[in-house]
Chains A and B, each alone.
Chain A
Amino acid sequence: MTTTAPPPAPVRSAPALRPSWWERFRNGSAWIVIATVALFIAIWEFFPQTGLVNRVLFPTFSETVAAFFQLLGGGYWWEDLAKTMSAVAIAWVIGCAFGFVMGVVLGTSPFMRQAITPYAIAVQALPKVVLAPLLIGWLGFGAESKIALAVIICFFPVWIDTMVGLALPSANEFKLMKSLRANRWQVFTKLQLPSALPMIMVGVKHALLLAFTGVIVAEILSASDGGLGKLTKEFASQLNMGLVYSVVTIVVILSITLVSIADVIERRVVFWSEESRSRKK
Chain B
Amino acid sequence: MTTMTQTAPLVRVEGVTKRFGSGDKEMVALSGLNLEVREGEFLSLLGPSGCGKSTALNIMGGLLTASEGTVTFSGEPLTEPSRNIGMMFQQAVMFPWRTTLENVLLPVEIFGEKKKDFIPKAEELLEMVGIRDFRDSYPWQLSGGMQQRAALCRVLLHDPKLLLLDEPFGALDEFTRESMNQELLRLQDYATSTAVLVTHNITEAVFMSDRVAVMSARPGRLVDIIEVPFDRPRRPELQTSTEFIKLVAKARQMLELQ
Contacts and interface: CB of A to CB of B under 8 A. Distances in A.
A194 to B, nearest CB: 5
Nearest to A3: B144
B142 A4 contact: no
A8 B146 CA distance: 10
Contact of A1 (B63, B80, B97, B143): B143
B138 interface: yes
Given A3-B145, A3-B173, A272 B89 contact: no
Contact of A180 (B81, B133, B143, B175): B81
B95 A181 contact: no
A180 B175 CA distance: 30
Contacts of B91: 170, 172
A86 interface: no
Nearest to B139: A272
A10 interface: yes
A179 B81 contact: yes
A182 interface: yes
A167 to B, nearest CB: 16
Given A1-B143, A3-B145, A186 B136 contact: no
Given A175-B63, A179-B87, A180-B111, A7 B143 contact: yes
Interface in A171-208: 172-173, 175-182, 186, 190-191, 194, 197
A173 B89 CA distance: 9
A191 B103 CA distance: 12
A176 to B, nearest CB: 5
B15 interface: no
Nearest to A176: B93
A194 B95 contact: yes
B109 interface: yes
Contacts, number: 90
A191 B83 CA distance: 19
A181 B61 CA distance: 11
B143 A277 contact: no
B96 A272 contact: yes
A26 interface: no
Contacts of B171: 3
A178 to B, nearest CB: 6
A6 B143 CA distance: 8
A179 B60 CA distance: 11
B71 to A, nearest CB: 15
B134 A10 contact: yes
Contacts of A272: 96-97, 138, 140
A11 B140 CA distance: 10
Interface string B203-224: 0000000000000000000000
A46 to B, nearest CB: 52
A172 B137 contact: no
Interface string B84-110: 011101110101110000000011011
Interface string A242-281: 0000000000000000000000000000101100010000
B2 interface: no
Given A272-B96, A273-B96, A179 B63 contact: yes
A277 B140 CA distance: 9
Interface string B166-195: 000001110110000000000000000000
A182 B144 contact: no
Nearest to B137: A10
A18 interface: no
A172 B93 contact: yes
B253 to A, nearest CB: 32
A175 B63 CA distance: 8
Contacts of A4: 143, 173, 175-176
B230 to A, nearest CB: 28
Contacts of B173: 3-4
Given A176-B89, A190-B109, A194-B97, A11 B141 contact: yes
A180 B106 contact: yes
B83 A181 contact: yes
A209 to B, nearest CB: 26
Contacts of A237: none
B97 A7 contact: no
Contacts of A176: 87, 89, 93
B110 A182 contact: yes
Given A181-B110, A272-B138, 8 more contacts: A1-B143, A4-B143, A172-B89, A178-B81, A186-B109, A191-B95, A197-B97, A272-B96
6 contacts: A1-B143, A8-B137, A170-B91, A175-B89, A177-B110, A190-B109
Interface of B: 61-63, 80-83, 85-87, 89-91, 93, 95-97, 106-107, 109-111, 133-134, 136-138, 140-146, 171-173, 175-176
